[in-house]
Amino acid sequence: PPAKKVKIDQSYKLVGERVKVSGWIHRLRSNKKVVFIVLRDGKGYLQCVLSGNLALAQQTVDLTIESTVTLYGSIVKVPEGKAAPGGVELVVDYYEVVGLAPSGDEAFTNKVAEGADPSLLLDQRHLTLRGETLSAVMKVRHAFLAAIRRVYREEGLTEVTTPCMVQTQVEGGSTLFKLDYYGEEAYLTQSSQLYLETCLPALGDVYCVQESFRAEKSHTRRHLSEYTHIEAELAFLSFDELLDHLETLVINSIKYVLEDPVAGPLVKQLNPDFVAPKGPFMRLEYKDAIKWLVEHDIKNEEGEPFKFGDDIAEAAERKMTDTIGVPIFLTKFPVEIKSFYMKRCTDDPRVTESVDLLMPTVGEITGGSMRIETTDELLAGFKREGIDPSAYYWFIDQRKYGTCPHGGYGIGTERILAWLCNRFTVRECSLYPRFSGRCKP
Ligand code: 4AD
Ligand code: MG
């Protein structure tokens, strides 16, 4: 009978039918009479059996791991108690070799990835991507980005695409990547926030999914030089409304990922203990976090007890988040440790209407704030940070031509994925991670 051309995930439903599937040999095992192949096509894994003459023929071409083949045969249900992806097996009656891989190169696929030299594995990222774990994280990533866009549509935000090449900084000069822009100095963007702010009067609430770049010299579990930044900006709302919106976004996007027929089971596999976050999130003011750190005898960067005004760096932040064990909105940071654009609290001008969302195991996954609304205050912010405001004329104009209360935030895609997929570093959540010393493949 003629074979129906299908992807592997479709083949699971076709018990009794003759199909044609193409893919890569993920696993290979044979004895004198039978060859077992686990075929992979990026959509699924299919157990395939070649026996009799086919098995003998196989020995003559010497199939190898990562070779591409097209297999023809019937889909049969596997007997009770025998595990196979999709509960089926392909009984092969004919096959074609599309591309033969050299033998002995299994080293870079999943099985051996554990324990191998991380730097060597990163050199071979184009091959290690084929492994079960990395490809699973990438599938969850796909579902998460789709889920985020779905929530934004439900919440009425418009997606825009912001420039990557800019002449302004957002989060401090020390992490800027400079580039020669036809003889002028320019940078790779650190954040699209300022551009999103300019969209409010034109488009209303907006968001973008854009690469951000940070020249972070130190190697940590959660810093990349290039990361996918999900940023949103909303007008005519209060700080509490901003927090409510962010909470809805996180809860609903994770819910949609878990409901996804592909990504949901992958999250379970990668992170069996994952508990979907529930609202309302704990809201903890910076000044109370400082008290908490002192009470728990956690020290600041100088090894001293924490005091008001200290930056809560990665290690202390993670200790706090892991101890508390639930998502935390850490709010109202002092002016001095935050960026030039953040609005001060009316009841306490030492602190800002700012928020970091902290998750157990990762810490900060989101940073956001309400923004300064008046030109004078903004100019004072530039002065405090030692920034020449002239390049920001267009940003300052926002305050001149119809200012409004507004705020927004940025989510680190790789960080939220590290939390969701229980990965030790954000590097495992990026297709081709960039950090100091690594710009290939
Ligand atoms: O806290 P950040 O620096 O805030 C901003 O950029 C704001 N302008 C965003 C806004 O309000 N529109 O960065 C936001 C988030 C962080 O919480 C973190 O999750 C992620 O971006 N992030 C990084 N992720 C990976 N590698 C890095 N080097 C990162 N730096 C920030
Ligand atoms: Mg931050």
Statement to judge: residues 202 and 315 lie in one domain: yes
3-state SS assignment for residue 227? strand
Could you tell me the distance, in angstroms and rounded to a whole number, from the CA of residue 412 to the centre of ligand 2? 10
Residues 149 and 82 in one domain: no
Counting atoms of ligand 1 from 1, which one is nearest the CA of 356? 17
Same structural domain for residues 84 and 45?
yes
State yes or no: ipTM above 0.90.
Answer: yes
Ligand 2 centroid to residue 40 C-alpha, Å: 39
Residues 294 and 372 in one domain: yes
Residues 33 and 156 in one domain: no
The answer to whether 63 touches 34, Cβ cutoff 8 Å, is no
Residue 259 lies in a domain: yes
175 Cα–ligand 1 center, Å: 12
**Domain for residue 119, yes or no?**
no
pTM above 0.90, yes or no: yes
Question: Is 184 found in the same domain as 40?
Answer: no
pLDDT for the residue 62: 82
Q: How many residues does the chain have?
A: 441
- Tell me what pLDDT residue 81 has: 82
User: Ligand 1 atom 18: the closest Cα is on which residue?
Assistant: 412
What pLDDT, in 10s, does the model give residues 351-373? Answer: 999 999 999 999 999 999 999 99
Q: Are residues 132 and 97 in the same domain?
A: no
CATH code at position 372: 3.30.930.10
> Residue of the nearest CA to atom 29 in ligand 1?
223
**Which residues, 6+ apart, have CB-to-CB distance to 323 below 8 Å?**
296
- Whether residue 110 is contained in a domain is answered as no
Rounded Cα–Cα distance for residues 110 and 127 (Å): 9
Q: Cβ contacts of residue 117 below 8 Å, gap of 6+? A: none
The list of the chain residues with pLDDT below 70 reads: 104-115
**Does 160 share its domain with 48?**
no
Q: How far out from the chain centre does Cα 417 lie?
A: 4
The helix-helix angle for 132-154 and 239-259 (nearest 10°) equals 130
* Residue 441, domain member (yes or no): no
Q: How many domains is the chain partitioned into structurally?
A: 2
Domain that holds residue 286: 126-429
pLDDT at 118: 84
120 lies in a domain?
no
Q: Are residues 168 and 292 in the same domain?
A: yes
Give the separation between CA 191 and CA 177, rounded to whole angstroms.
12
Q: Which stretch of DSSP H or E encloses residue 24?
A: strand 18-30
Predicted pLDDT at 106: 56
254 and 353 fall within a common domain: yes
Tell me if 111 is assigned to some domain: no
DSSP E strands, 252-361: 282-285, 328-331, 354-359
Place of tokens 């704030």: 369
Residue 118 lies in a domain: no
Residue 110's pLDDT is 46
What is the dihedral angle through the alpha carbons of 200, 203, 208, 214, rounded to the nearest 10 degrees? Answer: -30
Residues 208 and 311 in one domain: yes
Q: Does one domain contain both 311 and 369? A: yes
H/E run at residue 329: strand 328-331
